Structure 1
Amino acid sequence: MAATDASPTDIPIEHPAWARRVFESESAEPDLDHVQRIGARFLGLGFIGYPIVLPAAIASSGSVTASWWVPLSIVLSVGPGILLIIFSFRPGTSWLGPLALVTWSGFLLSILLWFWAWTGATLTDPGDVAQWMVAFCGMPSMVLMLVHARLGVISLIVSSVASHLSQQLGRFGELTSDLAFEIMWSVVFTSVFLAVVLVATRTGRHLDETREDTYRTAANVAASSAREVEKARFDAIVHDRVIASLLAVEPGRPDERLAAQARSALEELARVPGPGGAEALSRGETLGRIRSAAADLAERFEVQVLGAEAGADSLRDAGRDRVDYPVEVVEAVIEAMSEALRNVVRHAGPDAECAVIVQLAADALSMAVVDNGNGFDPDSVGPGRVGIAVSIRGRMARLLGGRAQVSSREGRGTTVQIGWERP
């Protein structure tokens, strides 16, 4: 029979929530803080764990010291470890520097008090330990290494010398020629772990600096892009609204529609764009705005709707599935259309006929501005003419899903296709 059960190694092990929190931290904090916090938590567990796993060494140390030293040394070891764990769950790491100094000071005080507590006796078994704290003399140095590399190295040398001095006195009653080798071995061996801590903290610091540089670069790019977009918006408004209004001014009493167009241009120049995307327009509202914009330019412009059975009333969404278009899409399409119609008025000729053909689909909004006027050669348009480049093509290119195409031949009229598809 074929085995269908997954092997035990394939089954992910879910650790209890309290166990995960021991070695996890806030994801939003800087990487250096995260490394320091988790490192302090891990080392704090080490300070608590050493007295648990070294009962024999503690007992042999007590045979050559006064009775008060062993419990005091355990308190000075376990106490800072507990504080490291507790403080590692607090926000920030400003506590780590002072607490690292307290940890090393407690350890060093225990070593120095050993000389006072030593009874002068020596161990009968050379394999026993006279100073049980010599087993983890590098632990306080690793805590200091989390905040200051140079202090970590200095503390390691001082702790190793003091620990092995007391160790030799308690074992042999005097200092032997092996003292230098034992100190050197302790420093070299523990330096490997200090190097790991140093690499971890420098990596966290480098990640933070890289992230800050990335955010700063992204902010500069976004600001530059926003300035370019706003400049393009002003260029389009000045060309489409301001210059068009000025060109339409004639001697005599001004047309009310021209005055309204001028007021609209001033309002658009003063408007500060806000976060869009929430407002939407229905089919009927969209068509109403298109027809109103075309009528503001000239009554002769006819707006035709593809797929409409009974004109605008059939597009009021009554009894149909409602279809909405983002307001910024409708505004961009209408502005591009208005520029195309202004070009018809200025360049197509007085006898040119023009129609605006609109299609309002569920996921697309498109139109074509078609005239049978003079036409032109698109390749001959100079770069300084911003009407087509900025007000039509540029405006639709800045719109996600937007597009615009201008087709024309001299004497054959012009067709401007404007479209948007829902992303």
Structure 2
Amino acid sequence: MTEPESTRAILDDAWGHIPQTRETTAGLGSFTRLRIERIISIVVGLGSVALGAQAFFAALGPGQESPGWHVPLMVMTFVPLAAMLVACLAGRGVRLFAGLFALIYPLALILWPIATVGGSADPDNQPWIWYLVNVATVASVLAFPLLLQIVWTAFVPILFGVVRLIQGAFARDYWFSVALDVSFALILGGMLVTLGWVFRSVAANVDETRARAVESYAAAAAADAAEQERIAVAALMHDSVLAALIAAERARTPRERTLAVAMAREALTRLANTEQDSEEGSDEPREAASLADDIERAALELGVHVRVERSVTESTPSMPGRIARALVLAATQAVANAAQHAGGSGLAVTVEGSADPAHVRITVRDTGAGFDLDRVPHDRLGIRASIFARVAAVGGTSSIESDRDGTTVQLEWREGTP
């Protein structure tokens, strides 16, 4: 299985543990938010049906408007309301039609004093348009961003209060009833906006946590697959190394020695590749200067912040991708060793390159207590496999000098080597 296919298989397996519905396939990462939006639109639609029906039946009775204004105001108000209700229950165009009603209703309120000029008004008898005040505020919850929702929740009830006072010529009898109506509308509208904000915030947090969990699952699955592959390679390595040693021991002619060397190199290459991650990249030629960026990035993933000093001439030749990867991985292992065993004391990394002679050299230094390479246990592969074997497998050279003043790891590749 190729790398892209393996990655897709892991992600498909991760998403397979989550219930798949129309909402999840419509917007991955917004599973809960989409459901909450749908629930809010249905609840708003049902509540608005009740208030809209109350307002409609009240409008069918004797109205406070002039005869020429009553029907146009009803059409102007109830047609957008009906479109919003259908959109809410159908789950299509909710934001558009809710925003349309939220904008048209204040216009109807502004026209109300003109429509009721010369008519009789009772401060204790609410007009039909009153029942739709909170429908307009909750429509803003469906259509507008949070800041505009708050503004609309305060604006619409206050506008209704001003309109009623104008209709009653600011008579004293109107002030008390209008204050009660506006207070009720403000409180209810504030509760609706708050509930919408809370539900949406919880849904967003759930979606974010869910996305992180899926990402963690995919990373864990990839790590497990890599570990299983390393185990399989280790089993093959035993046969490869054993065969190379037998061939070297039995080699008598130049051709046999050449074959033994090729077998040994193949074994070293397999050993070096056991620790390469799944994002090796292509084997296209790489510029020497890019090695410094790769080492900084790899060190940062290990939690080590290091600035790689660059001393690469423009004429430095490119190198095959597999050689560049081997040098970067070996240098990263040296950085990891310096961070682990020397605490990162005096850590410095240098990448040098020139065309005469054509070579690339990477130097990793620290000022730790140093160590004795001969006393490192043979089963510790951090140096022997991850540095020496890896660089040797691509035809490079490596050396380590360590004493009480620190450790210096030097990796070098010269053009013309495999």
Alignment TM-score, normalising by the size of structure 1: 0.48
Q: Which has the larger helix fraction?
A: 2
* Larger Rg computed on CA atoms: 1
